[in-house]
A and B are shown apart, each in its own frame.
Chain A
Amino acid sequence: MADQLSKVFAALADPTRRDMVARLSVADSTVNELAEPYDVSLQAVSKHLKVLEDSGLVSRTRDAQRRPVHLEDNVFDLMTKWIERYKQQAEERYQRLDAVLEAMNADEATNDSDSSAASAKGSDDSAPHSTDRKSRKGA
Chain B
Amino acid sequence: MTTTDTAADYSTLKLDVPEGVQTVSITRDFAATPDKVFRAHIDPELFVKWCGPDSITNTIREWNATTGGNWSYVSNDDRGEYAFFGSFHEVRENERIVQTFTFEGFPDAVNLEILKLTDLGDGRTRLTSTSIFDSVESRDGMVASGMEHGIVEGYNKLDRLLA
Top 3 nearest A-B pairs (CB, nearest first) are A2-B144, A96-B50, A101-B32
Min distance, Cβ A5 to any Cβ of chain B, angstroms: 5
Whose C-beta in chain B lies nearest to the C-beta of A99? B50
Does the CB pair A101–B141 fall under 8 Å?
Answer: no
Binds A, one of B36-44, B60-68, B74-82, B106-114: B36-44
Q: Which of B123, B136, B155 contacts A136 (CB 8 A)?
A: B123
Our count of residue pairs bridging A and B at CB distance below 8 angstroms stands at 108
Per-residue 0/1 for B83-105: is the Cβ within 8 Å of any A Cβ (1 yes, 0 no)?
Answer: 00000000000000000000000
Given contacts A87-B13, A91-B12, A102-B31, A6 and B141 within 8 Å (CB-CB):
yes
Per-residue 0/1 for A37-58: is the Cβ within 8 Å of any B Cβ (1 yes, 0 no)?
Answer: 0000000000000000000000
Contacts of B53 in A (CB 8 A): 92, 96
Q: Which of B26, B37, B157 contacts A92 (CB 8 A)?
A: B157
Q: Does A12 contact B (CB under 8 A)?
A: yes
Does the CB pair B20–A93 fall under 8 Å?
Answer: no
Q: Spell out B's residues near A (CB within 8 Å).
A: 12-13, 15, 17, 19-20, 26, 28, 30-32, 36-37, 39-40, 46, 49-51, 53, 122-123, 127, 136-137, 140-141, 143-148, 150, 153, 155, 157-158, 162
Docked Cα-Cα span, A60 to B92, in Å, equals 54
Q: Does A105 contact B (CB under 8 A)?
A: yes
Does the CB pair A97–B40 fall under 8 Å?
Answer: yes
Does the CB pair B20–A90 fall under 8 Å?
Answer: no
Does the CB pair A9–B158 fall under 8 Å?
Answer: no
Q: Does A125 contact B (CB under 8 A)?
A: no
Contacts of B51 in A (CB 8 A): 93, 96
Whose C-beta in chain B lies nearest to the C-beta of A82? B147
Q: Does A27 contact B (CB under 8 A)?
A: no
- Extra inter-chain contacts (19) besides given A82-B147, A104-B46, CB under 8 Å: A1-B147, A1-B148, A13-B19, A13-B136, A15-B20, A18-B19, A18-B20, A85-B147, A89-B150, A90-B26, A92-B53, A92-B158, A93-B51, A94-B127, A97-B37, A97-B50, A101-B40, A102-B31, A105-B31
Best-buried of A9, A15, A100 by chain B (most CB within 10 Å): A100
Docked Cα-Cα span, A85 to B122, in Å, equals 31
Contacts of B145 in A (CB 8 A): 2
Contacts of B157 in A (CB 8 A): 92
Given contacts A13-B20, A83-B143, A105-B31, A93 and B36 within 8 Å (CB-CB):
no
Whose C-beta in chain A lies nearest to the C-beta of B30? A101
